[in-house]
Structure 1
Amino acid sequence: MSDPMLKVTSLDVAYGRAQVIFGVNLEVPAGALVCVMGRNGVGKTTLLNALMGVLHPSAGKIEFQGENITKVPTYDRVRRGMGYCPQGHETFPQLTVYENLQVTWEAAKGKKGAIDEALDVFPRLKPFLKRRAGFLSGGQQQMLAMARAMVTGPKMLILDEPTEGIQPSIVAEIEEVIERLHKEVGLAILLVEQYVDTAIKLADSFIVLDAGLVAHVGTAADLHDADLVRLLAV
């Protein structure tokens, strides 16, 4: 059996003296889509920030493609193939859509043609290439944030609640893109998602965090369990 794309072992993360993540173990196999689930405030975004090097764990190990990256800086993780789309569809609001993609591509030393490939994944952005990102709708900004992650040429995509606060018609479109990247492109994806229906539709497996601890691990079929639904209730 090959090593997982991402392996997290006994990870602790704290803000100063306040510990938020407690001994988390997590694996994302190559080509798999794993959901991280849980109520607001249980540590999901903190976990992702630690995976990307934005926060430094106080204990534990993070491995990507068999290499220990626990102390590797964020930019190096991106260049190794970890694409990150943080919560809140973050963009550079004063730059145009195309400039957002170009700046990210240059910083990541992306491959030739990566911007065109990202726009093929998100064709809805093509008419707005000259528009400043700050004037896009929430759904368009989310698509741009995901496109920025794609231009880095990721081997694994990390998405933090990409459907949060987005109009339903765009949610369906974003879900379709995630499913296509997973099943057709074969990207490994780690997806933070609150909505059970979305997780059932997209995920191969999931973990549930509760107060910074892994409370449950299972496959998408397990998400129909009533006790689990109660654990995830907002």
Structure 2
Amino acid sequence: MLSVKGLESGYGRARVLFGVSLEVGPGQLVCVMGRNGVGKTTLLNTVMGVLPATAGTVTFDGADVTRLKPHERVRLGMGYVPQGHQCFPQLSVLGNLLVTVEAAKQPKEAIDEALDLFPALRPLLKRSAGHLSGGQQQQLAMARALVTRPRMLILDEPTEGIQPSIILEIEAAIERLHTAGLPVLLVEQYLDIALRLADTFVILDGGHVVRTGAAEDLHQEDVRKLLAV
């Protein structure tokens, strides 16, 4: 479904990614892990076209998307939830969903589908998104990505800075999507969540892929050392 080969990217003259390669197969959940500052967000931003690739390729469902703009990748079915609970703070929860579903040219039924995964948002539909808690804003950000009816979901640390009860709700939603067969590329900081959700993992260090494996390999001591702060 998604193939990243030899990807390089960075900011100005500062290169951050060095020949990163990974694969996400149909229905697979791949977790990208690593310490802070190793290139995880840069990787996702480059996969989505927010940052240009300076070398390598990104292929989605057999099509080379390396030079496409982010909205063109979304149109092809790549749903992205970046770090930071991004939403339109001045709009209501419903307004955020309506703007997104209309821009994606999807039927309004897609909103109900997304809210089924995040029922806690239903009583908040008239509330300004800027007045939501961080966890509620993260749920809204994920719901906005889902109303585009993506064929793959890309998530950048969706549990970061979220209260424990909402972390469990977000994890349950990701698990439901994965069980339903939606491919997911997930950057996740919590080892326990990765163990429960992932099929395979990729560990970055210094912009390089230093370890890959099946989720059960995350128990190994050498893997845990790569993730230790």
Q: Confirm whether residue 205 of structure 1 aligns to residue 197 of structure 2.
A: no
**Residue aligning to 2:221:** 226
- CA deviation after TM superposition for structure 1 residue 141, in Å: 0.6
Alpha-carbon distance between aligned partners in 1 of 2:215 and 2:152, rounded to the nearest angstrom: 20
**Residue aligning to 1:84:** 80
**Residue aligning to 2:141:** 145
**Residue aligning to 2:151:** 155
CA contact (8 A) 2:98 2:108 kept: no
Instruction: State the secondary structure of the residue aligned to 1:30.
Output: coil
- CA deviation after TM superposition for structure 1 residue 88, in Å: 1.2
**TM-score normalised by length of structure 2:** 0.98
**Residue aligning to 1:94:** 90
Query: Residues 129-162 of structure 1, C-alpha deviation per residue, up to 9 Å, x if partnerless?
Result: 0000011111111100000000011000000000
- CA deviation after TM superposition for structure 1 residue 111, in Å: 3.6
**TM-score normalised by length of structure 1:** 0.96
- CA deviation after TM superposition for structure 1 residue 112, in Å: 4.4
Alignment size in residue pairs: 229
**Residue aligning to 2:131:** 135
Instruction: State the secondary structure of the residue aligned to 1:19.
Output: strand
Matches within 5 A, 1:1-234: 5-183=1-179, 185-234=180-229
- CA deviation after TM superposition for structure 1 residue 108, in Å: 1.7
Identity of aligned residues (%): 66
CA contact (8 A) 1:44 1:209 kept: yes
Query: Residues 52-99 of structure 1, C-alpha deviation per residue, up to 9 Å, x if partnerless?
Result: 110000000000000000011111110110000011111111100000
Alpha-carbon distance between aligned partners in 2 of 1:117 and 1:107, rounded to the nearest angstrom: 17
* Runs of 4+, deviation exceeding 2 Å: none
Aligned-CA RMSD value: 0.8
Instruction: State the secondary structure of the residue aligned to 1:223.
Output: helix
Alpha-carbon distance between aligned partners in 1 of 2:199 and 2:107, rounded to the nearest angstrom: 29
CA contact (8 A) 1:75 1:108 kept: no
Give the AA of the match of 1:197. D
Instruction: State the secondary structure of the residue aligned to 2:217.
Output: helix
Give the AA of the match of 1:62. V
Alpha-carbon distance between aligned partners in 1 of 2:107 and 2:156, rounded to the nearest angstrom: 24
Out of 93-102 and 110-119, give the one that drifted further.
Answer: 110-119
Alpha-carbon distance between aligned partners in 2 of 1:48 and 1:209, rounded to the nearest angstrom: 12
CA contact (8 A) 1:12 1:20 kept: yes
Query: Residues 100-134 of structure 1, C-alpha deviation per residue, up to 9 Å, x if partnerless?
Result: 01111112222441111111111110000000001
CA contact (8 A) 1:139 1:170 kept: yes
Alpha-carbon distance between aligned partners in 2 of 1:79 and 1:109, rounded to the nearest angstrom: 9
